[in-house]
Structure 1
Amino acid sequence: MDIFLALLPTDLAPSFSLLLILASFFTSATTAAFGLGGGAMLIALMTTVMTPLVAIPVHGAVQLGSNGGRTLLRHKHIVWPFFFWFCVGSALGVAVGGQIAQLLPEDLFRAVIGLFLIYTAWGPKLRSVIKSPVLTSFTGFVAATISMIVGISGPLVMGFLQGLKDRREMIATHAALMTAQNVLKLLTFTLLGFQFAAYLPLILLMIATGFLGTISGSKLLDWMPEHVFRKIFRLILTLLALWLIVQTILG
């Protein structure tokens, strides 16, 4: 037990580390089943026990493991043309976002994402984005830029993916997109000087429990009828939107 505790970050209470390791299971299961929600819940929890300058890079590393595991489990359902053009835009967006992250108001982006999610939950589906390489690349650019500023872009991307008709395609393509974006984020944070080594044991433990959550959530996804998935998905999307808007109002 002492050896285990010695591996955990010294600037974080052991009880908080254990809480994050356990939370990784449940948040990954949520994302695997419904496509979103888990990453936002995890970053919200992490920023209560870590500073944002630490939470966002560590969250990106953990999400790389979670999304990577989901990509492996669902690779047969990935819509590859959308994935390719999104990544083209994301590469530029990560570079731009890393440079302007300290210059733009974070609350503004939270509010914009919240309003966009309300639209995608209740408005017409954005099917044209799925079919247009230019719009897909622009989507990747915007999502990656915002992700470098506020730490999350998963709900934003999933809003565009609603144009896909099959829930499995949504989950698989979203996982692949987030995996690619997380790789770019980690490279950028490393180049900017963040030291991941001190948090590596915690990251690996969170990835391990997150993969177990991914397996559990994937089984739930296969069991759910399409219409049930869509209703719960819309509810989660709306709750996330309201959470972001409330954060903006409260400052």
Structure 2
Amino acid sequence: MLDLIPPDLTQFAALALLVVSFAGSFITAAFGIGGGIAFLADCAVLLPPAAIIPIHGVVQLGSNSVRALMFIRHLMLSALPAFVFGSLVGIAVGGSVVVSLPGWVIQSVVGLFILWVVFARPPKWLAQWPLVTGAISSFLTMFFGATGPFVAGYVKALKLDRHAHTATHAALMTVQHGLKVAMFGVLGFAFGDWALFIAGLIAAGALGTWVGKLVLGRMTDHGFHRILNVILVLIALRLIWGGISAFL
């Protein structure tokens, strides 16, 4: 196992990341959202600062790709084209500019937006303007990392059943993380140094997705959306609290 661990990581950190990769993929497959942020939080504690967003992105690319393939027959294809185009714009802009907006502002605004989606009627532009959703979320993901809840707001506005929600969200996040990883490669991040460990993290995530799919199959659509809303609210409150704490 030592050969698989990058020199910047301890054995404990590597094991913790593998466990959270499994748990995060299980949570997202079973309940629709939440695993990406859980994994990002672990990355923020255990990874070197420069590696946090790139490594999180490539592992989430693998996890979402596996989840999209497992649920592919439920995928709403019409949600993809405009979102992909918007994501290309957002990634290109995000990768080429220095963002002066403080991190606490981004956290707080995304958190408030999620609460709005859960407790108010989802804004019509979320379902009608996937290009805008793709552009904004992809721009944010270059700096914030886990924008799954933002994209989940768009998917939630489509009013899909639990399997279609999971499949469509996974496909959209695969696109977004894929573009982000490509941009970080262009910007010079050395993914090759982490390749074997990344493969292990993706494998752990695939196992978590498979177990989560079994749990999802035993749920009702009503139960799924209730749990999804609870998770979204908890994530939103955590983001807002993190933003307030950083500001203070």
| The two structures share one fold, judged by TM-score above 0.5 | yes
- Find the aligned partners of 1:97 and 1:124 in 2 and give their Cα distance: 29
Determine helix, strand or coil for the equivalent of 1:162: helix
Which residue is equivalent to 2:135? 141
Which residue is equivalent to 2:245? 250
The reply on whether 1:90 has 2:84 as its aligned counterpart is no
Output the TM-score relative to the length of structure 1: 0.94
- Find the aligned partners of 2:229 and 2:113 in 1 and give their Cα distance: 13
Q: Which moved more, 1:76-85 or 1:188-197?
A: 76-85
CA contact (8 A) 2:74 2:163 kept: yes
Residues 21-50 of structure 1 show CA distances to partners (whole Å, capped at 9, x for unaligned) of 111111100000111100000001110112
Which residue is equivalent to 2:152? 158
AA aligned opposite 2:73: K
Determine helix, strand or coil for the equivalent of 2:121: coil
Superposition deviation, residue 57 in structure 1: 0.2
CA contact (8 A) 1:98 1:149 kept: no
- Find the aligned partners of 2:144 and 2:122 in 1 and give their Cα distance: 25
Map of 1:195-214 to 2, 5 A cutoff? 195-214=190-209
CA contact (8 A) 2:27 2:35 kept: yes
For residue 69 of structure 2, the aligned residue among 64, 72, 75 is 72
Map of 1:1-251 to 2, 5 A cutoff? 4-126=1-123, 129-130=126-127, 132=128, 135-163=129-157, 164-251=159-246
CA contact (8 A) 1:126 1:162 kept: no
Count of aligned positions: 245
CA contact (8 A) 1:21 1:209 kept: yes
- Find the aligned partners of 2:74 and 2:125 in 1 and give their Cα distance: 20
- Find the aligned partners of 2:4 and 2:31 in 1 and give their Cα distance: 33
Residues 126-182 of structure 1 show CA distances to partners (whole Å, capped at 9, x for unaligned) of 45532x3xx110110001001111111100000111122312111111100011111
CA contact (8 A) 2:53 2:143 kept: no
Superposition deviation, residue 189 in structure 1: 0.1
CA contact (8 A) 1:32 1:171 kept: yes
- Find the aligned partners of 1:172 and 1:244 in 2 and give their Cα distance: 25
Task: Among all aligned residue pairs of Structure 1 and Structure 2, give the percentage whose two residues are the same amino acid.
Answer: 38
CA contact (8 A) 1:29 1:215 kept: yes
- Find the aligned partners of 1:75 and 1:224 in 2 and give their Cα distance: 19
Superposition deviation, residue 78 in structure 1: 1.2
Deviant stretches of 4+, over 4 Å: none
Residues 183-226 of structure 1 show CA distances to partners (whole Å, capped at 9, x for unaligned) of 10111000000001111111100100100000010111111011
- Find the aligned partners of 1:140 and 1:207 in 2 and give their Cα distance: 24
Determine helix, strand or coil for the equivalent of 2:189: coil
Determine helix, strand or coil for the equivalent of 1:121: helix
Unaligned segments of structure 2, at least 5 residues: none
- Find the aligned partners of 1:90 and 1:78 in 2 and give their Cα distance: 19
AA aligned opposite 1:153: T
- Find the aligned partners of 2:219 and 2:15 in 1 and give their Cα distance: 31
AA aligned opposite 1:123: A
Unaligned segments of structure 1, at least 5 residues: none
Superposition deviation, residue 239 in structure 1: 0.4
CA contact (8 A) 1:111 1:245 kept: yes
